Structure 1
Amino acid sequence: MRRLSAALGVLATAGWIVAVPASAAAEDFVPAEQLSTTTPIKHFMVLMQENHSFDNYFGTYPGADGIPDGTCMPVDAVSRPGETPANDDCVEPFHIGDRAILDLGHSGDVHERQYNDGRMDGFLEAFAERRELKGQPMGYYDDRDIPFYWNVADNYVLFDRMFTSAAGGSVWNHMFWVTGTPGNPEGDLLLPGGFDHVPTIFDRLQEAGVSWKFYVQNYKPEINFRTPGSGDEGAQIVWVPPLNYNRFLDDPDLSSRIVDMSEYYQDLAEGTLPAVSFMVPSGASEHPPGSIQAGERFVRSLTDSLMTSSAWSSSAFMWTYDDWGGWYDHVPPPQVDEYGYGFRAPALLVSPYAKKGHVDSTTLDFTSQLKFIENNWGVPPLGDRDAAANDITSAFDFAAGPREPFLLSRSRSSEELPETNTGVVYTSYGAALFVFPLVAAAHRLVATRRRRGRHLRKVAP
């Protein structure tokens, strides 16, 4: 506890901990279209999917910074510059197709071994003890497997320099996504007492009178940091960080803005979409070994419904992935502070103002989405990371005016209309996501591990 208290003191000194009123904004928000913004975007939606690297999804996409020719990952990584591997065995990138996959490890320890001090040669060595993987980290998907995502890249924006915010798993990366900080500086763990000391983007928006919602697929309000649940259900408190805050549970004006995904479709139909929307899946998360096709159908339902709504002409919808999932990626992540960046993740943008068929190579991380929100609606940054981040404005062409909606096909052959049933409930994807034993968490919280001079004991759902 003394280590945690000291760490919280550091956060306070750095300005990460502030006094946040229980409910800081008026009960009724001004309609999003009437709010002053610095761009034509009046509705910004961000969705966080799960566990894929850029090269795993777009490593063979034309024009993107994908898998280099001649890549063959050594089975044994080297420990020093100039050293040669213990043997000549290596695995080339291969198309996964219909092969069954397993959930790879994606903790901070795995990231460290794969990164290997920037040599990027440990993607197989990190799993040397898991013989059943048989080179799986080098597998990739392409337009035969995720045709809709590739169609989005052809017609809107694909980002090939979106780095995960932290060199680890879901807790830190989701906290960076909504707070611009790791939340728990001791490690990639939830705090049993919650995160009330850490301000969120939702606090900033609430104080400014900017409407927001957090849409959750298959939302279960009874599952939060006080009653965390287990297995699949336990992942909800990691993927929805406000559920680790007393104020977001106890203040009706805040708790009422964390809602089931069905409200997204209702808000589109009724013209009540908020200015800022955060979204997370459940069974359609694409988290291995779950179905990536279920994730595509889910995302397509969200974007098609937006395109056929009154909100389309002033909207931007962006999605990315919370961590790399243990998959190969060839680009060494810049190290901007003691937490990251981590490896690249796929990221795409759909908007009437998005550049057409554009690969954007601006260096970004999850706090870049915060930076866009802060700049667009005039709210102050949450921390040093989002204050210094690049935002996503390079992906837009506001001078060209808004484009008409273009409903993209689920295949690579032709355009087609969306299905009308947007209320699909996707099944959960098994027990591969999340185990959160409090005893183990408490033990890890006080344990230390050296990684380039920082504490990194991590678990990841």
Structure 2
Amino acid sequence: MKHRSLPRRIAAASAAAVVASSTVATGLLGLGVSPAVAGGAASPTTTPIKHLVVIFGENVSFDHYFATYPKAANIAGEKLQGTSIAAPRFTAARTTPTTIATLAHARLLAPNNPNSVQPARLAPSQAVTCDQDHEYTAEQKAYNGGLMNRFVQNTSRDACGTNQFGRPGLTMDYYDGNTVTGLWNYAQHYAMSDNHFGTTFGPSTPGALNLVSGQTHGVREFTATGKRVVPTASDYTVRQPDATGTGTMINDPDPVYDDCSNSSHKSTNNLAAMTGRNIGDLLNARGVSWGWFQGGFAPTTAARGTTPAACLASHTNAAGASVVDYSPHHEPFQYYASTANPHHLAPATAAEIGHNGRANHQYDLSVFTRVVDTGQLPAVSFLKAAAYQDGHAAYSDPVDEQHFITKTINTVQRSKNWKDTAVVVAYDDSDGWYDHVAAAVKNASNTTDDAAWCRQAATRGTPIAGGYQDRCGPGPRLPLIVVSRFAKQNAVDHTQTDQSSILRFIEDNWITGRVGNASADARAGTIAGMFDFAHPRQEQVLLNEQNGTVSAVIR
């Protein structure tokens, strides 16, 4: 069973019966810390950041969006796909750093690339492309031990559906500032990293789990009717199971604690649940408000009795295709009983948003819009766009994604909370798109799922954290941008980080402690180098929500 290229929807009725609520730990008073209350004072932090908003996109390698940054082709007459809008020109500031680990800086553009097909620029009219192979093993094989020269053979998918661009060796291709103009402008005015990686190799769900727990081990399997399965050998849902059937997740099974799992194709595939703790549990224990907000989470049909809710809202992407908004395997908190909202219940009151209640911190994206300019904005907010705007190749694209990112950040900047907010733009995996930089293995694995070079790292002494296999990493290099008054301006941070570095920032800023149990948070690099807390800036840089150009600088 391969990774999913389309969202999935309707789940087991028995999963609908699971309603879990998290409790706030009582040990805080002994630490001299008072828990935050609904609508009340902000929780103590170690930095001036009182609100963190994480926009978590889909399936982009660093070189796929920044291969030639900060130089764009600026070809006359190009238009953004699906519109009559002229593609914008992009000219970088003269103060832009010159030592950025791009494909152009490494002199690996055509004709110098070691892969069997040379990289090529994708035009703004080619925004919707084929989905690439981004499985755990395929991505490792593409790396070829760090030579980075086997992408065409292992991850390229060159032909696909109607109105999706493809060509031989598509995996090598990249966009520039005429298409991903908004992200290039955020990099110009705020801070970006050129040394940020997936915590492990593999597709969306492992990346989402690494963001919220730093842990892909601990998965258990359930049938579509909610019955526990104890596999005796590795399968799609559980890899390397122990005697209890608990193992590691390297694929995209849907969450068992979600009515809307298994629905886009009316599937009956086995479902997954995670054991252990996540950042939601840690924030609850500290009394810190938080929430995951996802497009399409509000059900189109409410759960009734043993009939699960359905999540079938849809939108049309730049290629004119209809795409179901909600993708269950992109919602990491639905894998944990402690943080799931199986029936997709809305918060009972506005005061519940960010706090314990029937929604259990899991919300529709529209709920974030309701609170962003109020005192109810949670301290930590994770945002996932509706599928057509999440950036995932095949059913989304950088043009639709740009509309979401720019509109969201503009809304945050115009809000009363901008003064102490940081927005982090990050991604769950690379989609298998080519990138020329490989990080040295920090966490090894030695199974048949791993390429020879990762197995060799294990035999040469690189640790297998916790003894948990199939977590080889860091994985592919991914974009990372911080937008905030406290972000450095037109700066590129070279500190090695990964998805769990964002988790670690939350833990450190809100003093939650670590997840534990060999979570990647304990070894993650810091994103602190992207901030300058001593010199906050006063201006707001607002972008055009259609083409990503700078529309206003408000001081």
Whether the aligned pair in 1 keeps the contact of 2:543 and 2:551 (CA below 8 Å) is yes
Structure with greater helix percent: 1
Aligned residues: 386
Q: Structure 1: which amino acid aligns with 2:393?
A: P
Q: Distance in 2 between matches of 1:368 and 1:205?
A: 16
Whether the aligned pair in 2 keeps the contact of 1:47 and 1:320 (CA below 8 Å) is yes
In structure 1, the partner of 2:375 is 271
In structure 1, the partner of 2:22 is 23
1:106 equivalent to 2:134? Answer yes
| Pairs within 5 Å for 1:19-418 | 22-25=21-24, 29=37, 31=39, 34-62=42-70, 63=98, 64-67=100-103, 68-72=106-110, 90-99=117-126, 101-127=129-155, 133-183=167-217, 184=219, 185-189=247-251, 190=253, 192=270, 194-221=272-299, 236-247=327-338, 248-249=340-341, 253=357, 255-282=359-386, 283-289=388-394, 290-338=396-444, 339=471, 340-383=473-516, 384=518, 385-409=520-544, 411=547, 414-416=550-552
Whether the aligned pair in 1 keeps the contact of 2:157 and 2:169 (CA below 8 Å) is no
| TM-score normalised by structure 1 residue count | 0.76
Structure 2, gaps ≥5 residues long: 1-19, 26-34, 71-97, 160-165, 220-246, 256-269, 315-322, 346-355, 445-470
Gap change, CA 1:325 and 1:143, over 3 Å in 2:
same
Give the deviation of 1:30 after TM superposition. Answer: 5.6
In structure 1, the partner of 2:459 is none
3-state SS of paired residue (1:399): coil
Gap change, CA 1:412 and 1:219, over 3 Å in 2:
closer
Q: Structure 2: which amino acid aligns with 1:54?
A: F
Structure 1, gaps ≥5 residues long: 1-20, 78-88, 419-461
In structure 2, the partner of 1:446 is none
Deviations 1:137-164 (A, max 9, x none): 1111111111111110000011111101
Give the deviation of 1:257 after TM superposition. Answer: 1.8
Q: Structure 2: which amino acid aligns with 1:146?
A: V
3-state SS of paired residue (2:186): helix
Give the deviation of 1:417 after TM superposition. Answer: 8.4
Gap change, CA 1:194 and 1:135, over 3 Å in 2:
closer
Deviations 1:13-54 (A, max 9, x none): xxxxxxxx9522289726575321100000011121111110
Whether the aligned pair in 2 keeps the contact of 1:32 and 1:42 (CA below 8 Å) is no
Whether the aligned pair in 2 keeps the contact of 1:312 and 1:405 (CA below 8 Å) is no
In structure 2, the partner of 1:433 is none
3-state SS of paired residue (1:45): strand
Give the deviation of 1:263 after TM superposition. Answer: 1.3
> Identical aligned pairs, as a percentage?
27
3-state SS of paired residue (2:514): coil
Q: Structure 1: which amino acid aligns with 2:297?
A: Y
Quick check: 254-263 or 198-207, which moved more? 254-263
3-state SS of paired residue (1:125): helix
Gap change, CA 1:316 and 1:309, over 3 Å in 2:
same
Give the deviation of 1:351 after TM superposition. Answer: 0.5
Give the deviation of 1:180 after TM superposition. Answer: 1.1
Q: Distance in 2 between matches of 1:117 and 1:323?
A: 19
3-state SS of paired residue (2:192): strand
Whether the aligned pair in 2 keeps the contact of 1:75 and 1:124 (CA below 8 Å) is no
| TM-score normalised by structure 2 residue count | 0.64
After superposition, the CA RMSD in angstroms is 3.1
Whether the aligned pair in 2 keeps the contact of 1:59 and 1:140 (CA below 8 Å) is yes
Whether the aligned pair in 2 keeps the contact of 1:165 and 1:366 (CA below 8 Å) is yes
Deviations 1:406-455 (A, max 9, x none): 2134557653489xxxxxxxxxxxxxxxxxxxxxxxxxxxxxxxxxxxxx
